[in-house]
Chain A
Amino acid sequence: MGTNEPFVIYPARRVITINPAFPFGDAVAVAGDRILGVGSTDELASWGEHRIDDCFAEHVIMPGFIEAHCHVMSGGLWNSTYVGFFDRRDPQGLLWPGCTSIDDVLERLAKAAADMTDDSQTLLAWGLDPIYFPGERLVASHLDTVTGDRPTLILHASGHLATINSALMDRCGIDETATSPGVARGADGLPNGELHEPAGMMLAGEAFADMMKANRTEQSRWRYASEARNAGHTLLTDLGTTQLWDPDQLSNWKKVTSDPAYPARVMVAMSNLFGGTADPAELAELCVQLKSEQTDKLRFGIVKLILDGSIQGFTARISWPHYYKPPPGHIGNGMWLTAPDQMADLVDPYHRAGLTVHCHCNGDEATEAFVEAVEQVLERCPRWDHRHTVQHCQLTTPDQYRRMAALGMCANIFSNHIYYWGDQHRDVTVGPERAARMDACATALASGVSFSIHSDSPITPLGHLQTAWCAVNRVTASGQVLGPDERIGVPDALRAITIEAARQIKMDGEIGSIEAGKLADFAVLEDDPLAVDPMALRDIGVWGTVLGGVPQPAQISDS
């Protein structure tokens, strides 16, 4: 053995290794930050001097969950009050019950306002999703009843809308003379406090800017990783929200991840979306440079591109017959965020630099443009094992999956959509047939495409047991099964949240399964995901994680 330190044996109720050659064990042995071996306690003891730690004897140990698509913003938003429809646990482990009515939202805001000491401070909230409150619209006059003179802003779950109260409207000079199309008006013709799209939201001035600034702090990075640990995750991919070209942001990442107590590894994806140079060749060079400086806990090498918008925001690029029941005035299809015919030239420099390109494609037209771009760059510059990945991959068709398999591409499927917006997709956005085949894990599997599944937190709550539950059961928020033929089995879902996720960020040699020599990153669970009823998958308790051999108990507070 390559270490003189005595190693630790953790006996467990069961160790699920996700290594098909050695699927289960009774115990796992950890030397330093690595896995010495998995097997029976006796087998492991034969390695030499050791200590047995029984703390996980009643638990099930799995490889640490790997989220290959979320955003550090999910840590920053917790500086604001959560008013979303679904229950959500904050990074401190406190459960925030969903606000399932306008009254719930107001009650939550009233309490938050009462807890604030500084009268001049703006009340910020997030997560509002009016799609769940059909009929009445939450507007400024509602907010005024509980917030009084305190300026208040709620960022909607979509990120495309905000609702503010009259005090903030006054402060920002938003009145009947407003000419911006981003200022929504009520039946009386007066601004109702709803601000649409960035051009409208920016009228809320500093309140909106403050909310965004919170995403760049050290504290938000800690919260990001704490929330992950609480859900059993040991690696998070910040898929392109941070401004890597900004030395402050980079040093901030280096600082937090070099703290031994920081409870997750982070893969930070390079992105051209948020300022700095837009020259892909220059960005590719920077990314290669960063890769040479990476540490065990801070990783680089992934590039994030983006082609279209979101399905529920009616901005995804969807092939004919496009949207099912778009809102009045909609042009029928979504919008491009990058010109599709520019895509091959954008991918090219990253591809040549040996990097892996992950491209946001919600609609199948976006997938088509990305797959074609990859075909073109492969023709220009053949390269094996690139693992370029279609992110979200929500409407990707069977023929596209077959081409992706042939090209060596991976998929990261947004399974959580089935639960959180599946009913809306069936009834409004894409209609019953395409909703039944969206987020097609079974098709990916049958086509031989390596795939993971994701939360895109903060868009939906981080937590791979929930995400796996969605892929396995395909049950919507209203309790209906959407597309039963695209359901996958629990073993495949467990692979998707561990080794397959590691594979698309090219870390499957180090993490993603429990095997001798890999990093000792575990999810420690209260129950056995392979033994429980698949519908109970998301209810399994999480003790916490082991990160690089160090136990990291989850913070759960029910006060």
Chain B
Amino acid sequence: MSTPRLPVTVVGGYLGAGKTTLVNHVLRSSDERIAVIVNDFGEISIDEDLIVAADSDKLTLANGCICCTLADGFAAALMQIRSAGTLPQRLLIEASGVADPTQIAAYGHTPGLRLDAVVVMADAEQVRRQADDRWVADTVRMQLAAADLLVVNKIDLLDDARKADDLCDWLAGLSAGATVVRASRAAVPIDVLLGPRSARDTASARERPAPEGAAAPGWHAVEDLFESQTVVLKAPIGMPVIEALLANLPDAVVRLKGLVQAVPPASESDANARETADATAYLIEAVGKRTSMTPHATDPTQPPPRWAISLISHKGALPPNWLQARLRPDR
């Protein structure tokens, strides 16, 4: 098996929180080919200038992918997407405004797919009222609790910074471990939503060869609120190091993604044993409270992937060599 599993991003949140704006933003800004499945009782509200052609309940998108509804079931939607020609690099599912994102996320466990993250949108102005609404309080709280990444949208509508801080603290409490990011018009940096770009590159099927001498940590700003760091790995690393990294991520880490070769503890101490032959390839990920390590199938007919780990963190919260240091605990 050489096709990596298709990452699935679920976008949930109550009515009016900006899910559709976010989906359109992703379609517009991402360099990935993204297929969209909409679960809102047949409603597809993709921006018209992103639509190339429409045919009953599915739309062909500018990036060559399609958008269809869950009307006939997920299997049928997947089939439509797979028969559309070029395979997508990501599946985006927009949940309905009253759906439980956890239930939608269950589709991410379909063979061939891999749940990447549950992104839940909250309307900065409305969410407190909604979370106490006589009818939808439990629905809204359930949605917030399901988030890996909680986007506090329309933050510009709050008139002072203290209110925004209070709101985000309160939401962090309700979402138990989710990463909370603020946004206006759902403009969350793409790398935050979908994972660090360099790591996304490493995880894609077609891989450019690793740049020469790329061991130094990469360091660049991701818009105003976030920054990222990348470590390119020249050799396999010990499994305990990776496990410790994932288990002890500080709250400042918004997202982490990497393609690594891991070796079991026994051979870790012996540097000479760090041979590629003993190592297993893993895709490692962290977003909010969700961390995962999934075996990664490599295609021997293709050039070897670029082994690297990238993370995105809140600006100024971590030293620039934080990740580098974590990967060399013995130094």
Contacts and interface: CB of A to CB of B under 8 A. Distances in A.
A487 B111 CA distance: 52
Contacts of A276: 42, 56-57, 71
A331 interface: yes
A458 B311 CA distance: 52
A475 to B, nearest CB: 34
B42 A341 contact: no
Contact of A198 (B40, B42, B74, B109): B74
A116 interface: no
Contacts of A274: 42, 71-72
Contact of A332 (B40, B136, B138): B138
B41 A272 contact: yes
A342 B15 contact: yes
Interface stretch (A175-183, A407-415, A503-511, A547-555): A175-183
Interface string B125-142: 000000001011011001
Given A277-B42, A278-B40, A338-B98, A199 B103 contact: yes
Nearest to A372: B135
Contacts of B107: 199, 202
A203 interface: yes
Contact of A341 (B103, B106, B136): B136
A275 B57 contact: yes
A335 B143 CA distance: 12
Contacts of A212: 73
A209 B76 contact: yes
Give the interface centre of A272, A335, A342 by most chain B CB atoms within 10 Å.
A335
B97 A339 contact: yes
A54 to B, nearest CB: 52
A335 B100 contact: yes
A246 B71 CA distance: 12
A198 B135 CA distance: 25
Interface in B61-110: 69, 71-76, 97-98, 100, 102-104, 106-107, 109-110
A188 B98 CA distance: 35
A173 interface: yes
Interface of A: 173, 178-182, 197-200, 202-203, 205, 208-209, 212, 246, 272-278, 317, 331-333, 335-342, 365, 369
12 contacts: A182-B106, A199-B106, A202-B75, A202-B107, A202-B110, A273-B42, A273-B71, A274-B42, A331-B138, A332-B138, A338-B41, A341-B135
Closest 4 CB pairs of A and B: A275-B71, A180-B109, A199-B106, A278-B43
Given A331-B142, A340-B135, 16 more contacts: A181-B109, A182-B106, A197-B103, A205-B75, A209-B73, A209-B75, A272-B41, A273-B41, A273-B71, A276-B56, A331-B138, A335-B98, A341-B15, A341-B133, A341-B135, A369-B135
